[in-house]
Amino acid sequence: MVNFAASNPWRARQGENREMKKLTIAIAAASICGGVLAEEAEAPEGVDKDEASFVAGEFGLRMDSRYLTYGCIDGKDPILVPGAKLTFFDWAYAGVESIFDLTKGNGKRGGYGNRAGKYTTIDAMAGIAHEFKFDDGVALSVDMNYMYEYLRRHHSDMGDTQYLNLELGLTGYWVEPTLWIERDLMADEGTYVNLKLGHTFPLIDSDSEDEDADPLLAFCPSIAQGLGDKHRTRGYDLAGDHGGLMDTTIKGELTWAVCKNLKLSAYVAYSDYWFDSRLREGARDYNGAWGGGCDHSWNFFGGVAVSVSF
């Protein structure tokens, strides 16, 4: 999720936004209607109709200590991120997510940050996702989605944008990789790739008889590296003519499965631009301009979240 600052000229493309909003609304409406109709459909072959789950829902609420995008500060104060998602037949889904500032000012220049209690972005998304399980305990998760991001109109030259996202994850190994690819379709037409390596340590096992049940308490340390092409780094004011290795993030996350349908989590993380001196300098400049006068490229941050499924 990206919050595009108002100072960049490439963020001014709004001519086709209205039509794309209509298209996004139509996609979301079609997905919801499909979910309603699915309740009258037959269960997939081999699945008991009484046990088949045609529609599943999830609501999440997260608070982050800072508003960070690609390791850069888009707001030095906490944000609140509510979101909801409906999944149909364990494959297709539609969802929405928003970002709210919690404090006035938020360190931004030009009055852009004076939005306490107001939303910054609304993201509508539709996609397909599934986990493929294999006999040796390994599972491959695939998630592909389209997202339309609406930005609150703080300035006349701020425009919405769209993304195509692909995420692939492998579990069942000691080191579990996750690859995320993001393609911007409207603002900077850039591509961002992030590779994360992590491992989940069960601290307290679940007392459920279900072999696939999550641990009652688990800790997952991870390290992730971002990579952006020249369009993405230029669009985010980090460099004008080249892409490269962007944010490196070290993170530790604790997850408590309170019950089958309720999870709580908390994380702490450190992020910096380690490998490219030009991008590191660009991150310093960006943080100084938009992050409340911070004169460094690194950040310590954290957050808490709750997730409810039904």
Q: Report the pLDDT value the prediction gives residue 292, as an integer from 0 to 100.
A: 64
Q: What residue ranges define each of the domains in the chain, with the CATH number in brackets?
A: 9-309 (2.40.160.40)
Query: Secondary structure of the chain in the HEC alphabet?
Result: CCCCCCCCHHHHCCCCHHHHHHHHHHHHHHHHHHHHHHCCCCCCCCCCCCCCCCEEEEEEEEEECCEEECCEEEECCCEEEEEEEEEECCCEEEEEEEEEECCCCCCCCCCCCCCCCCEEEEEEEEEEEEEEECCCCCEEEEEEEEEEEEECCCCCCCCCEEEEEEEEEEECCCCEEEEEEEEECCCCCCEEEEEEEECCEEEECCCCCCCCCCCCEEEEEEEEEEEECHHHHHHCCCCCCCCEEEEEEEEEEEEEEEECCEEEEEEEEEEECCCCHHHHHHHHHHHHHHCCCCCCCCEEEEEEEEEEEC
* pTM for this model (two decimals): 0.80
pLDDT score for 74: 83
Tell me which residues of the chain have a pLDDT lower than 50.
1-50, 107, 109-111, 155-156
Query: Tell me: the pLDDT tens digits for 109-150?
Result: 444 555 667 788 899 999 999 999 998 889 999 999 999 999
